[in-house]
Amino acid sequence: MVTDTVVGVRREGSVAVVELSRGKVNAIDVELMEELGTTLDRLEHDPDVGALVLTGAGRVFSAGVDLRRVVDSDPGYVERLVAGLRDGLEALFCFPKPTVAAVNGAAVAGGCILACACDRRLMADNARIGASELAVGVPFPVAALEIVRHACGSRTEDVVYSARLFDAQEAMTVGMVHEVHTADAVLERAVAVAAEFAARAPLAYRLAKQQLRGPVLERIRSDAAAGADKTAIGEWAAPHTARNLRQQLERLTAAR
């Protein structure tokens, strides 16, 4: 059992800075997504919080799902993981207050999706971001792909099929990122943007967000109800996927 999952929160005026802090690369697992969901629920109902900034501890935003844990766990863990991803991503995507991602370092696969779920995305000029699931050989859960589609629009197929990591300027061209700043300035700027958004009429902002994101949420829930996530779970848990992931992890370990 992984015990170092942490979602930290600190306040900058009316802005809550939510920091993913899990190991060296802030890898995503069931516990992190559950803790993120609990944190979002608490901040949603805190009247003193007007907006939030999501960032990563250290030099990485998030390197995505903890693949080592996936291959070392039984199929039941994969089912819990996909469900946790769906619930956590929905909670972030539909959070009724303004959300800003401060992409302070690599945002890979699931880390990219977390950033794309935020209303605005600011990125360090030395960071890289990408929805690289197909390069790893795993399918997108329903919520993840719909969130990428919402962020990238007509460039979604380029992002998904290429499965590549984009530098900051490239990320702006495909809709993943709205602003690029130096690494030491991105978090401060993200807090400032969040505070600007928080100063707007809260009810009007909430309603606009519901209208803009409602159709996406309907597709997520409809596709999930139709069994799309079960197909993803089956592929994630398949023996050939585990073999492929182990081989990739071994290559990465050997290269270090």
Residue 104 predicted with pLDDT over 70 = yes
Lowest mean pLDDT among 146-150, 168-172, 184-188, 251-255: 251-255
Q: Quick one: tokens of 55?
A: 């960032």
Which residue in the list 19, 31, 133, 146 is annotated as catalytic?
Answer: 133
- pLDDT for 58-97, tens place per residue? 999 999 999 999 988 888 999 999 999 999 999 999 999 9
Segment holding 121, helix H or strand E: strand 120-124
Contact between 54 and 102 (Cβ < 8 Å): yes
Mean pLDDT of 210-229: 88
Q: Say what the pLDDT of residue 252 is.
A: 65
Q: Two tokens at 4? A: 């170092």
- 65: which DSSP letter? B
* Residue ranges covered by each domain of the chain: 6-198
Looking at residue 4, its pLDDT comes to 52
Report the CATH fold assignment for 6-198.
2-enoyl-CoA Hydratase; Chain A, domain 1 (3.90.226)
Whole-number pLDDT of residue 136: 87
Count the Cβ atoms, other than its own, within 10 Å of residue 64.
25
Q: How far apart are the first and last CA of the chain?
A: 25
Tell me the two tokens of residue 164.
């590549």
Beta strands 60-62 and 51-56 are unpaired
**Closest listed residue to residue 102, CA positions, set 87, 88, 85, 114:** 114
Q: Is the dihedral of CA 92, 229, 108, 168 positive or negative?
A: negative
| Distance separating alpha carbons of residues 233 and 164, to the nearest angstrom | 23
Q: Which residue has the tokens 């794309």?
A: 116
Structure tokens at 54: 């999501």
Mean pLDDT of 18-37: 94
Average model confidence (pLDDT) across the chain: 92
Does residue 44 have an active-site annotation?
Answer: no
Give the list of residues 6+ apart from residue 100 with CB closer than 8 angstroms, or none. 51, 52, 53, 54, 118, 119, 120, 121, 122, 190, 191, 193, 194, 197
Q: How confident is the model at residue 162 (pLDDT cuts 50, 70, 90)?
A: very high
Euclidean distance between CA atoms 136 and 138, whole angstroms: 6
Enter the tokens of residue 140. 């997108």
Please tell me the pTM assigned to this model.
0.93
